[in-house]
Amino acid sequence: MKLSIVATLYQSAPYITEFYERSSAAAKQLVGDDYEIVLVNDGSPDNSLDIAVKLTENDRHVVVVDLSRNFGHHKAMMTGLAHAKGERVFLIDSDLEEDPELLIKFSQQLESDECDVVYGVQEKRRGDVVEIFTGIIFYRLFRILTGIEQPDNIVTARLMSRRYVDALISHQEREVNIGGLWMITGFKQCRHLIQKHVTSPTTYSFVGKFSHLINAVTSFSSLPLVFTFYTGLAISITAMLYIIYLIAEYSLSSTMPDGYTSIIVSIWLFSGLIIFFIGVQGIYVSKMFSEIKQRPYTIVRQIYRFNPSEQENK
């Protein structure tokens, strides 16, 4: 099979039919009849699954992977990639914020630049001032803390070679951060500037974005643990120097310096630091706990495909 188009479904009912029609048209223009559309239902609470299953009843190109519950966008995407069979795989969101017709442009660039991946980057990040500001902070902190050069405003839409996809899904993390995995998998990757439309409100709150940042950093970097060590060392050295100063002052004046308030503040400060550092280490311990159990990161309830015998019986 020449091409697989992979998309996830979550509250996607208003967009599925148009997404299917536009994706099918782009695929036929590119590879003729040798393609598939893999739709992963990530426990969507609306009737996305029903709409997608109806597509399989009339089109052999459509495959619907129904997950047993909502596992999260990144894990659902990885599951879709694992079920894709094409020599090239086009990953895109189904909400039409990224045009399915990008497949044609991405394919042309993949050929001309001789790369394994062409990924989309927004020319201008959508949203209000807060959205833009938090996006800038996220990408900069991620790069600083992990050393992974993930581009600003990268989007889901990307066209990938078979060898790249095989390498990508070989990662066995249970706590999946797909943006970091995209970059550390390597191969030659080329960017393509796109415009992202606004078709639906974002499902990521500020708390969700902050949680995503913590998960991303702790999934790819031990720098917070190293920071904990050096901060503790700096505090210890500072405390020792202050003790030496107090001893010297007592030796010269024979009176103990006053400082009840400073003692209380110091206790609060160091107690807070201790709790914070224990929390950082706790995050890493929780990740090890999750990885050691080796639970599957998604569970497939059922796979729907076109069944010619069912059509004959109708």
pLDDT for 238: 75
- Pair 101, 168 in one domain: yes
Does any domain span residue 34?
Answer: yes
- Pair 161, 108 in one domain: yes
- Pair 105, 21 in one domain: yes
Pairing of strands 117-122, 189-194: parallel
Model confidence, pTM? 0.75
Query: Length of the chain, please?
Result: 314
pLDDT for 37: 97
Q: Contact 304/60 with Cβ under 8 angstroms?
A: no
Pairing of strands 154-161, 117-122: antiparallel
Query: Tokens standing for 139?
Result: 């990408």
pLDDT for 16: 96
Residue 301 CA, distance from chain mean position: 23
pLDDT for 132: 64
- Pair 181, 260 in one domain: no
Q: In what order do the strands lie in the sheet with 117-122?
A: 189-194, 117-122, 154-161, 88-91, 3-9, 35-41, 62-67, 300-304
Does any domain span residue 146?
Answer: no
Spell out the residues 6+ positions from residue 276 whose beta carbon is closer than 8 angstroms to its own: none
pLDDT for 246: 67
- Pair 229, 259 in one domain: yes
CATH of the domain at 164: 3.90.550.10
Backbone angles phi, psi at 44, to 5 degrees: -65, 130
Residue 121 CA, distance from chain mean position: 15
Residue 252: give the domain boundaries.
Answer: 223-293
- Pair 103, 166 in one domain: yes
| Ordered mean pLDDT values, 10 residues apiece, the chain (314 residues) | 96 95 96 96 95 94 96 93 96 94 96 95 71 69 72 89 96 79 91 81 59 67 70 72 71 64 66 74 72 80 83 51
Q: How far apart are CA 73 and CA 208, in angstroms?
A: 13
pLDDT for 218: 66
Spell out the residues 6+ positions from residue 145 whose beta carbon is closer than 8 angstroms to its own: 217, 221, 223, 224
Number of domains forming the structure of the chain: 2
